[in-house]
Amino acid sequence: MTIRTLRVFVLITMLFMTTPSYGDLTVHIGPASVGGGGPNPISIPPINPLDYEFVWLTENHTEWSLSLFPGLLYGYRAVMQSGGYISAGAGMVLNIHGVGPGFYTAFGFDHCAWLCFNVEYKQAIGFIPGMLINPYALRIGLVFFRN
């Protein structure tokens, strides 16, 4: 690795770590339970779109979650001093049995060193005609643009 490449790498890393931001973005990867039993292992290589989730957290502690499972969700995150947090909200919940409005809760933990790592368990309950659907996912990820 040349010094020039190293400088570019350091600058990009500092950009992600120190940019004044209006929120941060977490990219999660991990298997979801889609209603056909428990989750299958994470895909290797990690190219299965079902495993991915994007969470945008605003400065007001509201968050948008986008994934195929459990779905498109909007909620509020309460952060604890220990670095853990709990989120709750509502949105469109999806699993193999259908899609419908519902609620979600999430438990997560952030740890920032030279990168910010995150682990989160998210569960949702959705309402479709005749039944409740219950997708969930345990995912790990990286947090970007955290100030």
Partner 1 sequence: MTSPCIAHPIQINTTFCYQRVLRRFIESVLTSILSFFYAGLALAFSTGVGLTAMEEGDDRYRPGVMVQFNSGSFDARLYYSSREFGPVFESTGLLSVTGGFPVPISSWLFAHTGIGILQEKTKIAYTLNDSSFDKSDVRYNLGMALGLRLKSHLTKDVHFEAGWDSFLFPAGVTGGILLSTGRKQIIFLGSGVQW
Give the footprint of partner 1 on this chain (CB under 8 A): 30-31, 33, 35, 37-42, 76, 78, 80, 84, 86, 88, 95, 97, 105, 107, 121, 123, 125, 131-134, 136, 138-140
Task: Find the shortest distance in angstroms from Cβ 132 to partner 1.
Answer: 7
Residues 37, 91: contact at Cβ < 8 Å?
A: no
| Residue 15 or 59 having the CB closest to partner 1 | 59
Residue 115: strand pairing partners: none
Task: Find the shortest distance in angstroms from Cβ 54 to partner 1.
Answer: 17
* Residue in this structure with the two tokens 């209603």, named with its chain if needed: 35
Task: Find the shortest distance in angstroms from Cβ 37 to partner 1.
Answer: 6
* Nearest Cα residue to 105 out of 126, 121, 128, 81: 121
> For the chain, what's the residue count?
147
| Residue 17 or 125 having the CB closest to partner 1 | 125
Residue 76 tokens, joined: 């509020």
* Nearest Cα residue to 73 out of 51, 92, 54: 92
Phi, psi of 73 (to 5 degrees): -130, 150
Task: Find the shortest distance in angstroms from Cβ 34 to partner 1.
Answer: 10
| Residue 52 or 136 having the CB closest to partner 1 | 136
| Residue 6 or 131 having the CB closest to partner 1 | 131
